[in-house]
Amino acid sequence: MKLVSDPAIAKKIRKMQQRVKWQDPLIVERNIDQTRLVLEDGQANDADFSFLVVGDSGSGIHKGHNPQRQVAELMLPHHHECRFMLHTGDVIYLVGSKEYYQQNFIQPYREFLLGGEHPQKIAYDQMVFNLPILPIPGNHDYYDLPILFSLVSLTTLPIRRLLRSRLDLDVGLYGSGTGDAYARAFLDYLNAFQFPGDLARHLDKHYTAKTDTGRCLSYQPGQFTRLPNRYYTFRYGGIDFFALDSNTFNDPPPLPTTKEGDADRRILEKRRQDLEQEMQQIIQTSATLNPSNPNEAEQLDDLQSKLSQIEEIIVDIDKQLTTNKTTITDAEQLDWLRQRLIESWNTQEVRGRVIYFHHPPYVTEATKWQQAQTLAIRSRLRGVLDAVAKQLGSLTQGRPLVDLVINGHAHCLEYLQTLDTGHADSHIHWIVCGGSGFSLRRQRTEGADLRETMEDADKLVARSHLYVGRNGQGSQKHRPYSCLRIDVKGDGGTNASGERHANFIVRPLVADWYQRQWHNRELEPFKI
C-alpha cells in the first residue's frame, strides 16, 4: 500500500512555470530576472551578519512532544540577531497538503510571521514574514496522495481508520497538488492575475530592484515576502546564495536492459516486496498500541518514523525500476547554476558562495547515503561544478568553487567535508540540516568515511566530522532535534588580488527529547 505518489519531473517543472508565468511577455518586456531577489532590509551590505537554518521540519505534534515548536523556541533568542532563515525543504509532511500549513508551519513559527500573535487568523497563502524565511521545496512538498487515499479522504474518514492503525499521519485531504500548496504559500503566484493590467501593475510595484541581470523582485520583510521562482539567487553581505530545486534533477538513470541490469531489477523488486510486507506489519502492530500510554506512544512515534523511512526507500526503488523513460535532469536549472556561478566568480565584490537544496550529495544517514537519488544528485552537481572550474581556470586560485553546501532530506544534523574526489566538488564543506521536526534517523553502521568506486578503484571521497541524530536504545534513546545559526565574518583573509574572503562560524542548536523531557543545548561552534 503506497502512502505517497511522486509526480513526474516534467510535470513538476511545467506546473511551477505556469504558477509564476515563466517568461510571460509582460515579464520579458520589463527585462525581469525571475530567478533573483534583493533582500531590502537596509543591512544587506554589512560584512558581518548571521542567519538561521532549519529543514525537514513540517510535522505536527509527535506522541507526547512537539519537536518543531521546540526547535522554533531554540531560535527565538537569536531572532533579532539574524537577518533571515534558510529552510532546506519538506516544509509540510506527509504530502504537502494546504490544510496542514496552519498546524505544521504557521503555529510553530508564529513569532517570525506578521500577525503571529493571532496565528489562527493567518491564511497559508497570505503569509508575510518579519524575519525572512527563504525555503526551497522538498520531496514531500511535491508529493500527492494515491487515488485510493484521495477517495477515502473525500469521505472525511481519517486516514488511520483506513489503515486500522493508531499512527497519526499528517496526510490531509488533497496532497500537494504537484507543489501547488508550496507555491501558493511562498512563491509570487502570478498565475492568480487574470488580467494583463493587474499583472503589469503588480510587476511595476514589486519588481523594482535593479541588478546586473535586469530588474528583479524586491523582498521587503514585514511587507512583501514572496519568492520569484522555485529556484533563485540573492546576494547578502557579499555572499552569493543559490537556492535550488533538487526535486527536478534527482532522477536516477533506469537500469540497463542487460543481463546484469535484469539481475539488479529482480533484486530491487524483491526488496520492494519485502518493504511493503514490513509496512503492513507496522500498521498491524500500531493498531495494538495505546497512544495514551507514554511507553506505547513512543513506540508509535518510532513506528511512524519507520513507516516514512520505508516509503522513501520505496520511492527511490520505483525511480530505478521505471522503464521506457527518458531521464529528466532539468537542464535549464543546472545550466542556470553554471552560468550564475561563473558570473559570481567574475564579480569582485563577492567574497563567498553558499548553495542550498534538499537532497544531499554526501551524507552518512543510514537510509540516504547510497540511495540512487543521492548518487544522481552528486553526479549532476559534479557536472555543473566541473564545467564551472573548466571555464574559470586559474581565477579561483585554488579555492573551492563553493564555500558551503547546505541540504536537508536526511533527518539529522551532519557536517562533512569532501576530500580529493577527482572533480570540482573536492574540499567543499557540506552541512545536512534535516533534523528540525520530523522523526530522526540514525547514522549508518559503516562509519564516517564515504567511499566511492571510481575506475574500478575504491576511493575515499568524504568524511563526516559531526553527526547529530537518533541514538541509544530503550529508555536510553535520544532524539536530538536541531537547527543552526551561522555567523558570517569578514576576516577570512585576502587573495593575491587583495579580495577579502569570509569565514563561516557554524553554531548547532539542539533540543534533545530524552526520557520524556527536553534538554536544550548549544554544541561547540566550528569554523569553515
What are residue 162's phi and psi, to 5 degrees? -60, -40
**By 3-state DSSP, what share of the chain in percent is helix, strand and coil, each rounded to 5?**
35, 25, 40
Number of domains in the chain: 1
Q: What is the dihedral of CA 284, 289, 291, 295, to 10 degrees?
A: -130
Residue 496 lies in a domain: yes
**498's grid cell:** 587583495
With a CB cutoff of 8 Å and minimum separation 6, the contacts of 426 are: 400, 418, 419, 420
| Nearest partner of 84 among 234, 188, 209, 228, judged by Cα | 234
Residue 315 lies in a domain: no
Residue 317 lies in a domain: no
| Nearest partner of 104 among 133, 132, 139, 67, judged by Cα | 67
What is residue 169's predicted lDDT score, i.e. its pLDDT? 67
Please tell me what DSSP assigns to residue 139. G
Residue 504 lies in a domain: yes
**190's grid cell:** 502570478
Is-contact 187 19, C-beta < 8 A?
yes
Residue 283 lies in a domain: no
What is the residue whose three cell numbers read 512537539?
66
Amino acid at 384: V
Residue 273 lies in a domain: no
Q: Are strands 457-468 and 413-418 parallel, antiparallel or unpaired?
A: antiparallel
Within 13 Å, how many C-alpha atoms sit on residue 367's CB side? 22
| pTM of the predicted model as reported, rounded to 2 decimal places | 0.94
Instruction: Report the CATH number that the domain containing residue 505 is assigned in CATH.
Output: 3.60.21.10
Residue 50's H or E segment, with its range, is strand 49-54
Whether the CA torsion 207, 208, 213, 214 is positive or negative: it is positive
- Which domain range does residue 455 map to? 9-252+324-527
Between the two ends of the chain, the Cα-to-Cα distance in Å is 44
Residue 311 lies in a domain: no
**81's grid cell:** 540577531
Residue 412 lies in a domain: yes
Amino acid at 390: K
CB pairs under 8 A, 24+ apart, for 195-200? 196/26, 199/21, 199/24, 199/26, 200/26
**Dist. CA 310–CA 367, nearest whole Å:** 9
Whether the CA torsion 186, 190, 194, 200 is positive or negative: it is positive
What is residue 136's predicted lDDT score, i.e. its pLDDT? 98
**Dist. CA 193–CA 191, nearest whole Å:** 5
What is residue 259's predicted lDDT score, i.e. its pLDDT? 83
The tens-digit pLDDT sequence of the chain (528 residues) is 567 889 999 999 999 999 999 999 999 999 999 999 999 999 999 999 999 999 999 987 777 789 999 999 999 999 999 999 999 999 999 899 999 999 999 999 999 999 999 999 999 999 999 999 999 999 999 999 885 554 444 444 445 444 445 666 677 777 899 999 999 999 999 999 999 999 999 999 999 999 999 999 999 999 999 999 999 999 999 999 999 999 999 999 888 878 888 898 899 999 999 999 998 899 888 888 888 888 788 888 888 888 888 988 998 998 888 765 566 679 999 999 999 999 999 999 999 999 999 999 999 999 999 999 999 999 999 999 999 999 999 998 989 999 999 999 999 999 999 999 999 999 999 999 999 998 899 999 999 999 998 877 899 999 999 999 999 998 899 999 999 999 999 866 665 455 578 999 999 999 999 999 999 998 999 999
